[in-house]
Structure 1
């Protein structure tokens, strides 16, 4: 050893982790300190477990950079990554554990296609424009508290892909805000609207998330579904989806969202159309509306 060298940290992983955790101890925000401490421990353990080399680290960092570069006004690649890793569904289920224990509706991902300022429509309106193809669908819904009390005046937002498997902001052939709507529940907590039966569709695969799915040998398909976001004063906001149980990918959703009772049969109405009846049970608590990813 060079006689003039100054001894630094011991050159071994445990000492390095200890130093990194000690640096994190100065974080003023207690929750950030807790989250970062756990992240650091797991991150170092992961690198040691898989024997990560520096070339692989560079590839991983480049992947994260490209996730950001692929995000824009019409696609949020970061949300998509959390979705296809099952992380977003896991967090949704953990957030709702108390509600689910008392019979609350299972949550599902908001996803990257919810738009701000979806049009307010009267109950009974049609959210599909006149030239939208597809079998007619009537949706009858009711918003309730966990104890079964109807929630009047609740805001219910809904959005769906067309039978072509595209949301309107992805498809220049669809009018603005097609297959989207915002409704208000009546005195009995009910809302209803007409649409068309949705189709399953692939998540975007033109970015880094598509590369990851291909490398894993996974398909990119989501089963047909309708999104709902329910906002009622004095209750936690519920974001969920109802899935077509007859879709070929009903049991292997690429984002792992078709959980619990969210798989439903779209019942024939005897006139060539279908009917979907949904009940949305909300947990009491702070009414915190999530950030909308798209204008």
Structure 2
């Protein structure tokens, strides 16, 4: 039986993954750009203090909370949940192909590679409804991309991700899939469930204090790539989920909703085609 994951454990795992990802590379930004962005951020914070007459007690509570975010390793979670959706919108606003959305804090590179059609790695007794996830990858001009690669990862039926919760096999529900000679992929997996982001740490304190909820709708994570094309990072959602309209991460887009077909044997299947933009 899987032991409950703690916010500190999953948060620190997310922090370690970020450090290993290479995304800490130095950003070449002009002094003027740094001054503008940092200045606007600091001004916005000071405007809140002045407009809402923040007290010293509230100020010190904020300092204590910021320290706890770091101690719990939850900066990746906080930033990915509350800010990344806007950064993603800016970064992909030029695209003509499929819509993307946030990566989130639980991506792990170098997942085992398989040739489609294939079954994602899972436990023999993996809980949930079997789901066949299939479709085609093409370029914006309609040409099938026969050298495309579809990475898929998602939470299990209990809302836990492998490598971020104890007692789950390393690559459970994670895989990279090579398309066939028509650019098609077919992956057998299990339908994930909605889950709450960790609430026993600093982010949970903020959510509770604000009276918000911590739920994310059920979703599949994907990264779709092909030579000469821009990488697409997306999450795909299930129709009818009660949290599609109030996702704590604000990442749901209408174009990312799946069309689910119920089969006679009680399993489900869905077809979703990806369209990639050429590198400019």
CA-to-partner distance for each residue in 1:121-157, whole Å, 9 max, x for gaps? 2212211332212221111032222232222212221
Instruction: Tell me the residue number matched to 2:101.
Output: 108
Answer yes or no: is the 8 Å Cα contact 2:151–2:224 preserved in 1: yes
The 2-side partners of 1:262 and 1:28 are apart by 36
Change (3 A) 1:64 1:146: farther
Cα distance, 1:171 vs structure 2 = 4.1
**Higher mean C-alpha deviation, range 52-61 or range 197-206:** 52-61
- 1:124 partnered with 2:120: no
Answer yes or no: is the 8 Å Cα contact 1:145–1:151 preserved in 2: yes
1:190-201 matched pairs, under 5 angstroms:
190-201=184-195
Cα distance, 1:62 vs structure 2 = 2.1
Answer yes or no: is the 8 Å Cα contact 1:126–1:195 preserved in 2: yes
- 1:219 partnered with 2:219: no
Instruction: Tell me the residue number matched to 1:279.
Output: 273
- Output the TM-score relative to the length of structure 2: 0.82
CA-to-partner distance for each residue in 1:25-62, whole Å, 9 max, x for gaps? xx953432332232233233232222233332222222
Cα distance, 1:284 vs structure 2 = 2.6
**Higher mean C-alpha deviation, range 51-60 or range 186-195:** 51-60
The RMSD of aligned alpha carbons is 2.0
Which runs of 5 or more residues in structure 1 are unaligned? 1-26, 72-76, 287-295
Q: Give the alignment partner of residue 152 of structure 2, picking from 126, 151, 158.
A: 158
- Output the TM-score relative to the length of structure 1: 0.78
Change (3 A) 1:33 1:278: same
The 2-side partners of 1:45 and 1:224 are apart by 37
Answer yes or no: is the 8 Å Cα contact 2:196–2:215 preserved in 1: yes
Instruction: Tell me the residue number matched to 1:94.
Output: 90
Answer yes or no: is the 8 Å Cα contact 1:246–1:265 preserved in 2: no
Q: Give the alignment partner of residue 61 of structure 1, picking from 60, 63, 66.
A: 63
Q: Give the alignment partner of residue 243 of structure 2, picking from 224, 230, 249.
A: 249
SS for the counterpart of 2:163 is helix
Answer yes or no: is the 8 Å Cα contact 1:250–1:263 preserved in 2: no
Cα distance, 1:262 vs structure 2 = 1.1
Change (3 A) 1:273 1:148: same
The 2-side partners of 1:119 and 1:260 are apart by 30
1:138-149 matched pairs, under 5 angstroms:
138-149=132-143
The 2-side partners of 1:33 and 1:235 are apart by 33
The 2-side partners of 1:223 and 1:55 are apart by 36
SS for the counterpart of 2:153 is strand
Instruction: Tell me the residue number matched to 1:293.
Output: none
Cα distance, 1:275 vs structure 2 = 0.5
Which runs of 5 or more residues in structure 2 are unaligned? 1-28
Answer yes or no: is the 8 Å Cα contact 2:115–2:180 preserved in 1: no
The 2-side partners of 1:183 and 1:30 are apart by 43
Please identify the structure whose Cα radius of gyration is greater.
Answer: 1
Instruction: Tell me the residue number matched to 2:34.
Output: 32
The 1-side partners of 2:231 and 2:31 are apart by 26
SS for the counterpart of 2:94 is helix
Answer yes or no: is the 8 Å Cα contact 2:217–2:237 preserved in 1: yes
The 1-side partners of 2:148 and 2:34 are apart by 34
